[in-house]
Amino acid sequence: MTAPADDPTGLALVVFDFDGTLCDSADIKTKAFYELYLDEHGPEVAAALVDYHRRHAGVSRYEKIRWAEERLLGRRVTPERLRSMAARFSMLVEDAVVDAPLFPGVLPYLRDETLPVAIASATPTTELRRICDRKGITEFFWAIEGSPATKAEILSDYAARLRVGPKRMLMVGDQPSDLQAAVEVGARPLVVGPPAPWNRDVPRVDTFADVVAWIEARRGAETPEPPHTASR
């Protein structure tokens, strides 16, 4: 890993959420949450879990499964049950996410970016890294991290590892959890997606191409360009 240039104001790291930000895969996980309990408990439970998932997008699947077990089904969830259901969810989604396309402009951006680029996702780290390997994009990232750490914990860890203040990190995401993580640690947020009440007062763009333009518009004035080094 190459240390960022000694500039107290410029960006030192660009961090992306994965599903719905880099990869067009958000709907895959919505469908998987519906299917997860459908055969065992029927469409009413399945639909309730999907509603909870949509209202808590970007939160770990373990928390969503725990909510379904305890709140929908009224039973104490054991570690074994939690692992079993999470493994079943992984089987439903992994191949589909690997096959899902990256958003237009993502691959050229990753190939050309000179700043360190990382991922902070709610997907389990081992699965996330496996997906990136299978999609052939691991080499572009300085770090790839997911659950069980929260996104705020991941951002804090990145700041410590780079030995820079959190204000030198940009967190790019499409869900409230991405914004909340940035605010919690003091990183700069950038939302990609349609206007919504939760993103009304923060920088927001419509597409990934707009993300690239947003970064480029600020690069000359405030962003150093250290050599890019890909690492986990």
Which pLDDT belongs to residue 9? 54
User: How many CB atoms are located within 10 Å of the residue 222 CB?
Assistant: 11
Which pLDDT belongs to residue 150? 94
Residue of 18, 205, 204, 209 lying closest to 104 (CA atoms): 209
Whether 138 contacts 129, CB under 8 Å? yes
Query: In the block, which residue shows the tokens 């600020």?
Result: 218
The predicted model scores a pTM of 0.80
Residue of 109, 62, 213, 170 lying closest to 178 (CA atoms): 170
Whether 17 contacts 58, CB under 8 Å? yes
Say how far apart CA 136 and CA 171 lie, in whole Å: 22
DSSP states along 49-77: HHHHHHHTTTS-HHHHHHHIIIIIS-SPP
Q: Digits of tens for pLDDT over the chain (232 positions)? A: 333 444 445 889 999 999 999 999 988 988 888 998 888 899 999 899 989 988 887 778 888 999 999 999 999 989 999 999 988 988 888 999 999 999 999 999 999 999 999 999 999 999 999 999 999 999 999 999 999 999 999 999 999 999 988 999 999 999 999 999 999 999 999 999 999 999 999 999 999 999 999 998 877 444 443 333 334 4
Instruction: Say which DSSP state 102 is in.
Output: B
Which pLDDT belongs to residue 32? 86
